[in-house]
Amino acid sequence: MKKVSIVILAVVFLFSCGKDKKEEKEPGLFDIIEDVSDLSKMAEEAEKIEEESQELINATPISNEELKALLPNNLIDYPRKKFSIGNQFMPDMIMAEAEYENEDGKIISFSVIDGAGETGSAMVTLARLGFSRDFEEQSDRGYKKSTTINGYSAIEKIEKNDYDDSEDSKIELLISNRFIITLEGEKTSLKQLKSAVNQLNLKALEHKAG
């Protein structure tokens, strides 16, 4: 439980530090209730993680060929320009990344991380605590919120560009409490990213997770 407790403390710290700087006034009752509710949900998730973390550590990692098969040649109308398997700075990290770019210079970055092994399980542990929190944040440039996409726990984000009417977007998905999927769109709408999600073989990850 020690590792989970450390993660909870880290998340609480990030959660408190990540609040908008404008909130210099004393918190109201609703704010306090909301924070306690978030922490309660994270604590419940931490108990589940404690039970499942050793299973992740001992799980057989997805193979490089299986990872490569998850990277389609095209996402929506964006052809794949490059990809990489593994991480040279963290050799035990099981992951794949790919970049897609259309003729207008719009970009989608896609990554998948496997939670198998020591490093992967630690990352998924932290991610699961984040996904367990129900939240919505808004500004004059966009928003970020927890949601569900195609039945998966997700976080979506939209941010308007300062110099034109385009927007950047981001989707994070948690698959079977093991795989983390991230898609980031540069000058690409959230609607387009959701279409890209529909083209990914996420069922293969569910099957791998068992």
Residue 206 has pLDDT above 80, yes or no: yes
pLDDT tens-digit profile of 176-198?
999 999 999 999 999 999 999 99
Residue 10 has pLDDT above 60, yes or no: no
Architecture of domain 2-209: 3-Layer(aba) Sandwich (3.40)
Other C-beta atoms closer than 10 Å to the C-beta of 119 total 19
Domain limits, the chain: 2-209
* Cα four-point dihedral sign 18, 147, 105, 167: negative
pLDDT tens-digit profile of 126-155?
898 889 889 999 999 999 999 999 999 999
pLDDT tens-digit profile of 69-128?
999 999 999 999 999 999 878 878 999 999 999 999 999 999 999 999 999 999 998 898
Residues 6+ apart with CB under 8 A from 174: 124, 127, 128, 131, 152, 153, 154, 180, 181
Q: HEC states along 194-209?
A: HHHHHCCCHHHHHHHH
Q: How far apart are CA 108 and CA 72, in angstroms?
A: 12
Q: How high is the pLDDT of residue 49?
A: 75
Q: How far apart are CA 125 and CA 7, in angstroms?
A: 8
Q: How far apart are CA 127 and CA 125, in angstroms?
A: 5
